[in-house]
Amino acid sequence: MRHSIPPAPEFGEPLPIQPVPAVLDFLARRRSGSAVNLTEPGPDAGQLADILTLSARVPDHGKLSPWRFVLLRGEAKAAYAAKLETLAQARDDAPKKTAALAKLKIPPLAIVVISSPQAGKIPEWEQVMSAGAVCTQMLLAASAMGFGANWITDWYAFDAEALGLLGLKDGERVAGFLYLGTSIEAPLERVRPDVAALTMEWTG
């Protein structure tokens, strides 16, 4: 079922902070869906626009929007995967690198989130983290629409020639390939961290 999002708030419109129990329920049970289990249908044009709009609604020091999106789908995605296959064959560990491309080939849609930091007074680290926030928000938005979503970086997120195919500029890096589609099976819960063991009280 199509769930559309409300119109974007007007600039300066009050947005009261209020409890949203359904979001807590969703967060407590959300799981990524394995990329190789993602099939048609992927998001339609309206859903894709909504996913991108919600993904861009993240903390961003300096309001720089230091990220951008590249969409991979249909024949263009197949052509991109074929080019990566050629590159993989020339790399060490070619069979593994070629096999890894299944995660790109199978899902109907990949959104590449590119971290695109700008020079100036906002530390690059903060701009890169904002790109990570975009990826997380994209997982949440797509999952809340009922799509399976998987955040992946594989060898082709770090290979200079592969990045050249995407047209990355100097200083840009891939924050993630976000694979989206309809999950053919329910993902199983994975091991979760012991949050208490990762938390300390500062006492001076």
| Positions in the binding site for ligand FMN (CB under 6 A) | 31-32, 150-154, 176, 190
Smallest gap, in angstroms, from Cβ of residue 45 to ligand FMN? 26
Smallest gap, in angstroms, from Cβ of residue 37 to ligand FMN? 11
Indicate the SS3 state at residue 179: strand
- Could you tell me if 61 and 67 are in contact, meaning their C-beta atoms sit under 8 angstroms apart? no
Give the residue nearest to ligand FMN (CB).
Answer: 32
Angle CA 149–153–158, to nearest 5: 155
φ, ψ for residue 15, nearest 5 deg: -125, 85
Smallest gap, in angstroms, from Cβ of residue 178 to ligand FMN? 9
- Could you tell me if 120 and 130 are in contact, meaning their C-beta atoms sit under 8 angstroms apart? no
Buried b (16+ CB within 10 A) or exposed e, 174-203: bbbbbbbbbbeeeeeeeeeeeeeeeeeeee
- Closest to ligand FMN by CB, 31 or 57: 31
- Closest to ligand FMN by CB, 2 or 183: 183
Can you list the alpha helix ranges (DSSP code H) found in 37-123?
45-55, 74-89, 94-100, 102-105
- Closest to ligand FMN by CB, 46 or 166: 166
- Closest to ligand FMN by CB, 160 or 200: 160
Smallest gap, in angstroms, from Cβ of residue 78 to ligand FMN? 20
Which residues are paired to 151 by β-bridges? 178
- Closest to ligand FMN by CB, 107 or 176: 176
CA distance 179 to 158: 17
Smallest gap, in angstroms, from Cβ of residue 204 to ligand FMN? 34
